[in-house]
Structure 1
Amino acid sequence: MPLLHLVFQGCTNLKVLFLGVGGWISKPILGHTSILVVSSRGGGLLLDAGEDVVRSLYFHGFKVHDLESVVITHLHGDHVLGLPTLLMFAKHYEKVSSLRVYAPRESVSDLDALLRIVGVDYTGVATLLGVSPGSNVNVGDFTLYFERAVHPVPALSLKIMAEGRCIVYSGDTAYNPALVRLAENCDLLIHEASGHHEDAHLYGHSNVGDAVRVAVESGSRKLILVHYYVDTPALRAPLPEGLEVYLAYPGYELFL
């Protein structure tokens, strides 16, 4: 059993499963960033739908009907191109009829167009719902709080509150003081780490140093890095005292 898995063995309540952890041009073995949060009741919340997300769900023992909702943080391909297949499975194999798909309000019409262009009629299967920075919604066992991310297209970061726990997902973003406030004293910060300093900041992304900075400034207890560039980043010691930092890999799971 992997050491990183052992760290969280014995914890209860919320489960977080990393289905994919790569960016658009990462090594294929990393997949594209998609994260499943499961409540103790079994309700599933999917954060982004990268390519191959359906295969990953099935591989890890889940199905589309286990999902109550999906959040698409923005419409870049590595975060959304798995959604058409997911909705096709929902309609033709699993007879899902009430899936809620949240996306930036400015992008809902484009998301609808994307689905229809590739031949996905999601009528009666899913509802596309636009959300704005500063808004919050109740989704099954979860309450979601949204903030604007710093990215070239409309993009969201979000906080998930459930069962007395707090999880924050950066989505794709450069360093953002609003994200620091959103993640204040959270149990878990999931933050992108897309490349070296210059590469990341040119394109509205963060590097490892930015992610650690957000974790420290927010007082987050654990930091998990995702959305790597070509390969996994390096963690250079010393890291800030008291902060647990982990590199996610496909299939990595933890319990809060």
Structure 2
Amino acid sequence: MINDPLDLTVLGSATPYPSVDNPCSGYLVSSAGTRVWVDAGTGTLAELRRHVRLDELDAIWISHLHADHSADLLTAYYGALYADVRLAAPIPLYGPPGVADRLAHFLTNTSTRSPVESAFAVDELHDGHQVRVGTLTLTSRAVAHGIPAFALRVETGGRSLVYSGDTAPCAGLTQLAEGCDVLLCEADSAQVTREEERVHHTPEEAGDTAAAAGPGRLVVTHVGPFLTPRQAVARASTRFDGPVEYAAPGATFSIG
């Protein structure tokens, strides 16, 4: 409904592996009864279950196939098919090209391919991919991470959230985030590396992307182990004049 908030719940935001109190990248995006698991990094499935069962999800969206964003798809597969979950239909899974085969390679232990498609109805992403999931419109754009990778814009009732996934600064992300209410942007790199190696934002670059796109609020996430959240927020704030916050594990940001 138009008056329902768009909620972003942080399941985890650590990289490249979980800390004792913070799983890897994963978020629950919800509004008016629609629930989407965005990225399935290591440890996020357990946190997801605090809020929703697998068979209550409307979809899963995966930005790219690095383990700190996708590894818990493996355990979700076992939960969906071999535990206390009873799926009425496979869970819609939106992910990079090859996501189903990648899962099958990990899961298959005999000459018979594991039934990945019994758990997940896979729809491969492409630049400009758009789908309606319940009350939410999901739009994906290709971004610069050295492998197939995507950013996501979620819209409902005039409210909008953009998630960078993992990426160096790029036009695709800036264009996708233009005028959004909240930009959830990674701030992984402590410093800029050589141009050919750049696959992440520094905190300053997260601020630059926000300044160019003009969101109402910037939330930095995926802060690397060589930065503290406070440092990341302070550094991003030198480049973006709007509110800057950190995606602390367990936090919920309500847009509406």
Range into which the TM-score falls when normalised by the shorter chain: 0.7 to 0.9
Partner of 1:34: 26
Residue 156 (1) aligns with residue 146 (2): no
Deviations 1:197-242 (A, max 9, x none): 2359635011111111111100111111111111534133764575
Aligned match of 1:229 in 224, 233, 245? Answer: 224
Q: 1:4 maps to what in 2?
A: none
Percent same amino acid at aligned positions? Answer: 27
Residue matched to 1:171: 165
Aligned to 1:253: 252
Gapped regions of structure 2 (runs ≥ 5): none
What residue number does 1:7 align with?
A: none
* 1:47 paired residue number: 38
What is the TM-score with the length of structure 1 in the denominator?
Answer: 0.86
In structure 1, distance between residues paired with 2:60 and 2:11: 14
**Residue of structure 2 in register with 1:132 after alignment:** 126
The alignment partner of 1:19 has SS state of strand
Shift of 1:155: 0.6
* Secondary structure at the counterpart of residue 118 of structure 2: coil
- Name which of 114, 118, 121 aligns with 2:115: 121
* Structure 1, unpaired ranges of 5+: 1-10
- Identify the match of residue 75 of structure 1 among 62, 65, 89: 65
How far 1:12 sits from its partner (Å)? 5.1
CA RMSD of aligned residues (A): 2.3
Match for residue 93 of structure 1?
84
**AA partner of residue 50 (structure 1):** G
Contact 2:192 2:198 in 1 (8 A): no
In structure 2, do the counterparts of structure 1 residues 129 and 239 end up closer, same or farther at CA, with 3 Å as the change threshold? same
Amino acid at match of 1:222: R
Corresponding position of 2:55? 65
Larger mean Cα displacement after TM superposition, 146-155 or 86-95: 86-95
Tell whether 2:8 aligns with 1:16.
yes
Mapped to 1, the partners of 2:70 and 2:252 lie a distance apart of: 22
Deviation at 1:117, TM superposition (A): 5.5
Name the aligned partner's letter for residue 206 of structure 2: A
Contact 2:161 2:184 in 1 (8 A): yes
Q: Given residue 243 of structure 2, which amino acid in structure 1 is its aligned partner?
A: E
Instruction: Indicate if the aligned counterparts of 1:225 and 1:247 stay in contact, CA closer than 8 A.
Output: yes
One-letter amino acid of the structure 2 residue matched with residue 225 of structure 1 = V
What is the CA–CA distance in structure 2 between the aligned matches of 1:244 and 1:200, rounded to whole Å?
30
CA distance in 2, matches of 1:88, 1:216: 42
Deviation at 1:134, TM superposition (A): 1.7
Which residue of structure 2 aligns with residue 3 of structure 1? Answer: none
Letter of the structure 2 residue corresponding to residue 135 of structure 1 = H
CA distance in 2, matches of 1:48, 1:117: 25
Q: Tell me which amino acid in the other structure corresponds to 1:127.
A: A
Which secondary structure does the structure 2 equivalent of 1:29 belong to? coil
TM-score for the superposition, normalised by structure 2: 0.86
